[in-house]
């Protein structure tokens, strides 16, 4: 089974709809991140969380919100989706994992969610 999972993998929605993207991890990492990828722009950080009680804005947080429900779960919400939020969204984790203490500061990514807003 994958260490970092994202649901859904693909989603088509309409302008104005609320949508939630979910991320779960079994790596035992304490840090989790949400990025979006747009063609030619690389990946840009939306939000990140260093533990359950810690939430921080990244460089492009406007129009997004997050929730860290547990150490292993980090969800991203678009309260009112707009077409320019059409992108590939990635969740990532890092930290001193229970089984992989050498992974500190190395981020491991989920498979991505392709979101289309019509």
Partner 1 sequence: AQKVTQAQTEISVVEKEDVTLDCVYETRDTTYYLFWYKQPPSGELVFLIRRNSFDEQNEISGRYSWNFQKSTSSFNFTITASQVVDSAVYFCALSEETSGSRLTFGEGTQLTVNP
Question: What is the chain's alpha carbon radius of gyration, rounded to the nearest angstrom?
Answer: 14
Does the protein bind partner 1 through residue 63 (CB under 8 A)?
Answer: no
For partner 1, the closer CB: 73 or 109 = 109
One residue of 24, 25, 85, 94 binding partner 1 per CB under 8 A: 94
Q: How far is CA 68 from CA 22, 39, 73, 96, in A?
A: 10, 28, 6, 18
Does the protein bind partner 1 through residue 62 (CB under 8 A)?
Answer: no
Does the protein bind partner 1 through residue 97 (CB under 8 A)?
Answer: no
Residue ranges binding partner 1 (CB under 8 A):
31, 33, 40-45, 48, 50, 58, 88, 90, 92, 94-95, 105-112, 114
């Amino acid at each position: 089974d994958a260490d970092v999972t994202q649901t859904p993998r693909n989603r088509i929605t309409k302008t104005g709809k609320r949508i939630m993207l979910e991320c779960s991890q079994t790596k035992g990492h304490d840090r989790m991140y949400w990025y979006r990828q747009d063609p030619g722009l690389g990946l840009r950080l939306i939000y990140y969380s260093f533990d359950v009680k810690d939430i921080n804005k990244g460089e492009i947080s406007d129009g997004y919100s997050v929730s860290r429900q547990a150490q292993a779960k980090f969800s991203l919400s678009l309260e009112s989706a707009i077409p320019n939020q059409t992108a590939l969204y990635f969740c990532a984790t890092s930290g001193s994992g229970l089984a992989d203490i050498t992974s500190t500061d190395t981020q491991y990514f989920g498979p991505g969610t392709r979101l289309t807003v019509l």
